[in-house]
Amino acid sequence: MPMLRTQRSSSLYMLLVCIVLPTIFITVSSGAAFNYFTAKQRINHDMERSAAQSLQTLQQNIAGLIEAYAVNEYEQIIATEVGLHNNCGILLDDYNLGTILGKPAYMTGSLRLPDGTVSAFDADLTEHRRRLDHCYAAGSMPVLASDGSPIGLIHLYTSNEALDAKLKAIIHDSLLNTLIICTLMVVALLVLTRSVILKPLASMIAAIRTTDKDGIPINMMPDRGPHEVRTLAQSINTMITSIRNSRIDLQAQKDALDYMAHHDALTGLANRTLFTERLSSAIPRAAHAQQMLAVLFIDLDHFKTINDSLGHNTGDKVLNIITNRLSRVLRAGDTLARPGGDEFTIMLEGLDNIAQVTACANTILQAITRPLQIEQTELYISCSIGISLFPDHGSSATELLMQADAAMYQAKSEGRNSYQYFNTDLTQQARERLSLEAQLRSGLQNGELSPYFQPQVDAASGQLIGFEALARWHHPEQGMISPARFIPLAEVTGLIHQLDLVIIRQAMLQFANWYTRGLNPGVLSVNLTVRHFQHQQFVTTLQQLMTDTGFRPEWLEIEVTESQLMTKPEAAIEVLRQIHQTGIRIALDDFGTGYSSLSYLKRLPITKLKIDQSFVRDLPHDEEDASITCAVIALADSLGLEIIAEGAETAEQVEFLLAHGCRQIQGYFYSRPLPAVAAEAFMLNDAGLIREA
């Protein structure tokens, strides 16, 4: 049974004693002190009153005796008064006897000596004089004869012995009372505290100390004692109950988290972690059995397009269907996992030869390429499979997965919907790809990407009508990197969004600069990924960019590719309409390469069609390209749209296009994409274009 560690500290018992005892002592002592001073004042007052009364009485008793010259009698009365009332001394100046003796007064009296005896006063004795000087107080009263004449003066010296004795008695009583009261109260308090508070608390402590392996009390707290202690016990019981319930919930959550940590939430398949664990476990088994082990890395082709166009719900349904299909084609002992996104991994154990792997890969390809029925929509999807083998391609789970991943990319690059076994070259490509992605990210941060401007020219007049801004990456070490390398990578990694915004901002700044300087660069065309048009706030982003750069909407033309636009046309149409309403032109890029619906085309707020360079490249000799080009020009004409052709490299192509009604041309015939300085120079020299055309 685990014992609670108790820190050494003073007990509640002693704490109460330390608090209560001084409190009681101070309180009672204060009361006693107050009583003492009150009593002292009272005794003083009583003494003064008693002295006054004594003087009065003496005066009355002695007056007649003085008149009668009964000296001994009044001396005895004085001695008796001193003895009875414990006075310090009484003196009398007898004027009558003084007259007889030839002195102002006959002084007589008695005083109490230190030993308590009463002695007749002798004025010649210094001791007697000193004794009177040390008396507590003195009072005098004249003694009057029956006719009112003064016949003497009586002096009463009050002793402080009575006062001291009474005060000592009060102090003694007060101390005794204080001691008794303190003792009784402390004893009562401690007894009550022990029986009422400490015992229930001790029971609770004992109950708390009896715990299970997790340190949670086994028994409930005893519900007894005063209200506060019972409330505490009830609170602890509630807490124990809550802890027990929480522990159950926690275990369930832990189990759920453990499941989630090892499984894919969507498909219920093992995730990367669990797959890696199982793969790590399988490798030694395979090594021990001297059998082959294969890792298949499956990536669905263009699955992103499904997600973007049909939504994630549809994408999820696709993933579940694929999961079912994969599960059905695998053996019971094989492991299927979904490490993330549109990727699946499969571990095939107990293989004797590579043919079994190839067969499995083909079966998977066939299973996935079968049409998918999602609600009313039929979808087609394929996959790319990378395969690594143990022991040929690696001896660890990480190694095998990495090799399979590299092989999968190879399969992608070779046209998708195929499988590819790992080889050493694949590893190098994968490394380069990862390196390039990292460099692109840092390049965007460091401003290594900038727009190049390719002129768009009115071939009929030879005038510059604008520039298309194209992203160019000037790597600090590798020099210029081809857009063919980093644009697809940017699209795959999602960096295209950031890339678009970087390029358009710089291009806008440059155009605003030109216009400010009185130049006329015409219209700025920029390519934007369709991702932007799937978010309503993009319009605001554009407006903010123009505000920040001093750019005007009428200077801008946004190009969006037909194939991207058609993946989710409804959402894009709304955003494009808003953009169009701001005065921004919209051109449909690469027109003719996709499957544009004419109805959508009609609804799109586009102002221009851009004939894809693939149709221009073989003009005018390729009849199909010529027919398509003419058809597109006619379509644009019929829809009232502007038409521009890109990729014109020869004078023949320019002449063909011009002859068939396409005046706006872009291509190497006029200029390659130019940096800003060269573009500015081109702008200033655009008069020469007419001659060349």
Partner 1 sequence: MHEQTGPVARIPLKGQTANILLLLMLLIGLLLSAKPGHALESTAGSPRIIYITSDTRIPFWNVLSRGIHRQATALGYQVETLNAQNNARTELELVAGAIRQQVDGIIISPTNSSAAATLIKLSAKADIPVVIADIGADSDRYVAYISADNRGGAYAIGTILTRALEQRDWQQGRVGIIAIPQKRLNGQQRTAGFMQALDEAGIQNAAMRQQVDFSHDETYRFTRELITTVPDLRAIWLQGSDRYQAALDALADTGKQDDVLLVTFDAEPDFLQLIPDGVLVGAAMQQPYLMGEKAVMALHDHLQGKAVIPEQKLPVLAISADNIGANLALIRRNVLGLETTP
CB of 155: closest distance to partner 1 in angstroms? 20
- Of 34 and 69, the one with the shorter C-beta distance to partner 1 is 69
- Of 107 and 496, the one with the shorter C-beta distance to partner 1 is 107
> Out of 102, 114, 371, 518, which residue is the one contacting partner 1 (CB under 8 A)?
102
CB of 71: closest distance to partner 1 in angstroms? 4
Single out the segment in contact with partner 1 by CB under 8 A; choices: 64-72, 195-203, 416-424, 498-506: 64-72
Query: Using the rule CB under 8 A, is 125 a contact of partner 1?
Result: no
Can you spell out the DSSP letters for 609-638? EEE-HHHHTTTTT-HHHHHHHHHHHHHHHH
Please give the distance of CA 460 from its chain centroid, rounded to a whole number. 64
Longest dimension (CA), the chain: 177
- Of 117 and 638, the one with the shorter C-beta distance to partner 1 is 117
> Out of 69, 259, 380, 668, which residue is the one contacting partner 1 (CB under 8 A)?
69
Query: Using the rule CB under 8 A, is 73 a contact of partner 1?
Result: yes
- Of 98 and 605, the one with the shorter C-beta distance to partner 1 is 98
Query: Using the rule CB under 8 A, is 75 a contact of partner 1?
Result: yes
Single out the segment in contact with partner 1 by CB under 8 A; choices: 53-61, 99-107, 225-233, 234-242: 99-107
Can you spell out the DSSP letters for 19-47? HHHHHHHHHHHHHHHHHHHHHHHHHHHHH
**Structure token digits, residue 546:** 């123009």
> Out of 21, 71, 167, 635, which residue is the one contacting partner 1 (CB under 8 A)?
71
Query: Using the rule CB under 8 A, is 100 a contact of partner 1?
Result: yes
- Of 97 and 404, the one with the shorter C-beta distance to partner 1 is 97
CA distance 218 to 559: 72
DSSP letter at 535 equals S
Single out the segment in contact with partner 1 by CB under 8 A; choices: 68-76, 193-201, 236-244, 424-432: 68-76
CA distance 52 to 623: 151
CB of 73: closest distance to partner 1 in angstroms? 6
Q: Beta-carbon neighbour count of residue 616 at 10 Å?
A: 27
Query: Using the rule CB under 8 A, is 101 a contact of partner 1?
Result: yes
Single out the segment in contact with partner 1 by CB under 8 A; choices: 34-42, 69-77, 390-398, 573-581: 69-77
Closest by Cα among 494, 455, 505, 447 to 472:
447
Closest by Cα among 323, 310, 308 to 270:
323
- Of 97 and 633, the one with the shorter C-beta distance to partner 1 is 97
Asked if 150 contacts 95 with a C-beta cutoff of 8 angstroms, the reply is yes
Query: Using the rule CB under 8 A, is 72 a contact of partner 1?
Result: yes
CA distance 493 to 441: 10
Asked if 628 contacts 591 with a C-beta cutoff of 8 angstroms, the reply is no
Q: Which residue reads 């090892």 in tokens?
A: 262
- Of 90 and 679, the one with the shorter C-beta distance to partner 1 is 90
Asked if 566 contacts 531 with a C-beta cutoff of 8 angstroms, the reply is no
Asked if 530 contacts 565 with a C-beta cutoff of 8 angstroms, the reply is yes
CB of 68: closest distance to partner 1 in angstroms? 6
CB of 123: closest distance to partner 1 in angstroms? 11
Tell me the CA distances in angstroms from 580 to 556, 586, 607, one per residue in order.
Answer: 10, 7, 9
**Structure token digits, residue 44:** 């003083």
CB of 76: closest distance to partner 1 in angstroms? 8
What mask, x for binding partner 1 by CB under 8 A, covers residues 12 to 51? ----------------------------------------
- Of 33 and 125, the one with the shorter C-beta distance to partner 1 is 125
Of the chain, the end-to-end C-alpha distance in Å amounts to: 98
Q: With residue 532 as reference, give the H or E element that holds it.
A: none
Single out the segment in contact with partner 1 by CB under 8 A; choices: 67-75, 141-149, 163-171, 463-471: 67-75
Query: Using the rule CB under 8 A, is 520 a contact of partner 1?
Result: no
Strands 343-351 and 292-300: antiparallel
CB of 90: closest distance to partner 1 in angstroms? 17
DSSP letter at 217 equals B
CB of 125: closest distance to partner 1 in angstroms? 13
How many residues are listed for the chain in this entry?
Answer: 693
**Structure token digits, residue 190:** 């401690």
- Of 64 and 462, the one with the shorter C-beta distance to partner 1 is 64
How many residues contact partner 1, by CB under 8 A?
12
**Structure token digits, residue 387:** 């395969």
Q: Beta-carbon neighbour count of residue 50 at 10 Å?
A: 16
- Of 121 and 419, the one with the shorter C-beta distance to partner 1 is 121
- Of 154 and 430, the one with the shorter C-beta distance to partner 1 is 154
Single out the segment in contact with partner 1 by CB under 8 A; choices: 62-70, 213-221, 383-391, 593-601: 62-70
Query: Using the rule CB under 8 A, is 518 a contact of partner 1?
Result: no
DSSP letter at 468 equals E
- Of 77 and 465, the one with the shorter C-beta distance to partner 1 is 77
Query: Using the rule CB under 8 A, is 97 a contact of partner 1?
Result: yes
- Of 101 and 460, the one with the shorter C-beta distance to partner 1 is 101
CA distance 602 to 205: 83
Residues that bind partner 1 (CB under 8 A): 68-73, 75, 96-97, 100-102
